[in-house]
Amino acid sequence: MTVISHITCPVCGDFCDDIEVTVEDNVITDVKNACAVGAARFLNYATHRRTKPLIRKDGELVEASLDEAIRKSAEILADATYPLLFGWSSTSCEATRVGLELAEEVGGVIDNTSTICHGPSILGIQDIGISSCTLGQLRHRADLIFYWGSNPWDAHPRHIERYTMFTEGRFQRSTWRKYVSRLGGTVTEKRLQRTANLLLDHHPPTPIETGQGLPYTMFQKKRKMVVADVRKTRTAEAADYFLQVEPNRDYELLQAFRMLIRDGELDVEEVAGVPVELLEEVADVMIGCELGVFFFGLGLTMSEGRHRNIDAALSLVRDLNQYTKFLIMPMRGHFNVTGANVVFTWQTGYPFAVDLSQGFPRYNPGETSTIDILRRRESDAALVIGSDPLAHFPKKTAQNLIKNPLIAIDPELTPTTLMADVVIPPAYVGIEAEGTAYRMDHVPLPLKKIVDPPETCLSDEEILRRILNEVRRIRRKLN
């Protein structure tokens, strides 16, 4: 039995690096420090994985040797006129580097999953810029934490504990105690209310004013948390202020904030369902803080407005810097989606949706992005790595994806691997293979190898390297 510490967690964009695992006979038996999702990954990854490559023959996926699967993949890609290479956010930067070389060699379009998560954020950044930082900066200094359209409690379970409200910094203290006592208060209050209702058979209970900023925050000089979302999430419940936004109206609200920050007067009573008075109060809190941070999630990028929501948010934060220090950060989903953007950018100049078909990088989301290419049915082959587009792409695009030859590099049984023509299960990166990945704030950290992979499984990087070599061999033979 060995205990290994300081493991990085290959699940979400927080990419915690303090995980401790216990390994017995090449099996992970215990996990410490991880959140529920992280622990589930370490403990269950092996239970439903595949180890043997598969090739579709006569409509059925049958076991094949690795060499066969590599050769078949190379043939598909070498033959294609407009192949698509998609995924890259759940693998190492080392694998992505080879992937880019492969995409260039086969003249394809290479795109990562940010195309359907924070792609709009990148478009916004390219128009406005971004005032950002690494997470420690916030831990030490931020006294105002604003989550907009993101729900760390569910999507980034340790975010609040490691980087924001519940962490001790040099200049800011944790608000954990405050939260616990308040939570206690709320529960007691709810219980009393329920009892009262039962006894008195009253009108429907009046909602308890926890979120609208009054009782708990009045004398609080410490860290404050504001949440804006279309639904009241668990994160929202922990906030000092909660702004419930009408769906698809975030843009209006953000722009209204920008106007208030400029000391402008709004001609309306409410914006996106939020009373202007409350907006004014929150705007004052934003201007008055020492260092504020604005975290935003897919609630902004995936709803109407998309990159323009981000445009407005980035502009708001930029404008706030005339009064105080304000920073902003996208809440990235996969553990290495940031890394995929980073590697794409240093090799091609563009972070996603890179079309290499003409021998040099071209970029124009909407034109060279995966969903659009598939919707218009332009590609004639695809390689998918570490992603499950069949489960997550809109139906029509997913249907078009499987109208052409499909290669899937994935250790798991997923809808995509089930529908692919070639399936190559690799070693699990971050568990069975090492590499580099980037946390959501661009801090690079090592992915570790904790246990040995099954004999038949190579790392993503090696598989791609072998496909690339095979493609080059085919090309040489043709010339």
Judged by CB under 8 A, does residue 396 bind other proteins? yes
CB of 244 to other proteins, least distance (A): 8
Nearer to other proteins, 67 or 403 (CB): 403
Residues 6 or more apart whose CB falls under 8 angstroms from that of 62 comprise 54, 55, 56
Q: According to CB under 8 A, which residues from 188 to 227 bind other proteins?
A: none
Q: Are 115 and 371 in contact (CB under 8 A)?
A: yes
CB of 67 to other proteins, least distance (A): 24
Cα 72 to its chain centre, rounded Å, is 32
CB of 129 to other proteins, least distance (A): 4
CB of 90 to other proteins, least distance (A): 12
Q: According to CB under 8 A, which residues from 233 to 272 bind other proteins?
A: 233-234, 236-237, 247-248, 251-252, 255-256, 258-259, 262, 264, 266-268, 271
Judged by CB under 8 A, does residue 37 bind other proteins? yes
Q: According to CB under 8 A, which residues from 155 to 194 bind other proteins?
A: 155, 157, 162-163, 168, 170-171
Q: According to CB under 8 A, which residues from 450 to 479 bind other proteins?
A: none
The residue from 189, 209, 277, 290 that contacts other proteins (CB under 8 A) is: 290
Nearer to other proteins, 193 or 219 (CB): 193
**Which span sits near other proteins by CB under 8 A: 22-30, 172-180, 386-394, 466-474?**
386-394
CB of 202 to other proteins, least distance (A): 17
Cα 459 to its chain centre, rounded Å, is 23
Q: According to CB under 8 A, which residues from 82 to 101 bind other proteins?
A: 82, 93, 97, 101
Q: What is the rounded CA–CA span in Å between residue 330 and residue 313?
A: 11
CB of 201 to other proteins, least distance (A): 19
Site map for other proteins, 400-439, x if CB under 8 A? Answer: --xx--------xxxx--xx----------------x-x-
Q: How many CB atoms lie within 10 A of CB 194?
A: 11
Nearer to other proteins, 291 or 451 (CB): 291
Residues 6 or more apart whose CB falls under 8 angstroms from that of 154 comprise 233, 234, 235
The residue from 6, 191, 194, 202 that contacts other proteins (CB under 8 A) is: 6
The residues that bridge with 56 in the sheet, in sequence order, are 61
- Look at phi and psi of residue 126 and say left if phi exceeds 0, alpha if psi is from -120 to 50, else beta: alpha
CA dihedral 398, 402, 405, 407 (to 10 degrees): 60
Q: According to CB under 8 A, which residues from 121 to 150 bind other proteins?
A: 122-123, 125-137, 139-141
The residue from 40, 62, 208, 214 that contacts other proteins (CB under 8 A) is: 40
List the one residue out of 144, 145, 141 whose CA is nearest residue 172.
141
Which pair of structure tokens corresponds to residue 102?
């492969």
Q: According to CB under 8 A, which residues from 48 to 77 bind other proteins?
A: 48, 59
CB of 417 to other proteins, least distance (A): 9
Nearer to other proteins, 75 or 412 (CB): 412
Judged by CB under 8 A, does residue 10 bind other proteins? no
Nearer to other proteins, 67 or 127 (CB): 127
Nearer to other proteins, 63 or 290 (CB): 290
List the one residue out of 10, 12, 61, 231 whose CA is nearest residue 21.
10
The residue from 291, 408, 433, 468 that contacts other proteins (CB under 8 A) is: 291
Q: Are 310 and 301 in contact (CB under 8 A)?
A: yes
Q: Are 115 and 365 in contact (CB under 8 A)?
A: yes
Radius of gyration, alpha carbons of the chain: 25
Q: Are 377 and 402 in contact (CB under 8 A)?
A: no
Residues 6 or more apart whose CB falls under 8 angstroms from that of 283 comprise 257, 260, 261
Q: What is the rounded CA–CA span in Å between residue 290 and residue 172?
A: 10
Nearer to other proteins, 218 or 263 (CB): 263
List the one residue out of 74, 82, 81, 79 whose CA is nearest residue 102.
74
Q: What is the rounded CA–CA span in Å between residue 429 and residue 48?
A: 16
Backbone angles phi, psi at 373, to 5 degrees: -60, -40
Nearer to other proteins, 67 or 284 (CB): 284
Site map for other proteins, 293-312, x if CB under 8 A? Answer: -----xx-xxxxxxxx--xx
Residues 6 or more apart whose CB falls under 8 angstroms from that of 315 comprise 128, 258
CB of 464 to other proteins, least distance (A): 16
CB of 178 to other proteins, least distance (A): 20
CB neighbour class for 193 (10 Å; exposed up to 12, middle 13-18, buried from 19): middle
Q: According to CB under 8 A, which residues from 324 to 383 bind other proteins?
A: 324-325, 327, 333, 341-343, 345-353, 356-367, 369-372, 374-375, 377-380
Nearer to other proteins, 73 or 397 (CB): 397
**DSSP state string for 274-302:** EEHHHHHHHHHHHHH-SEEEEEE-HHHHS
Interaxial angle between packed helices 460-478 and 93-106, expressed in degrees from 0 to 180 and rounded to the nearest 10: 20
Nearer to other proteins, 291 or 384 (CB): 291
Judged by CB under 8 A, does residue 386 bind other proteins? no
Number of residues binding to other proteins, judged by CB under 8 A: 160
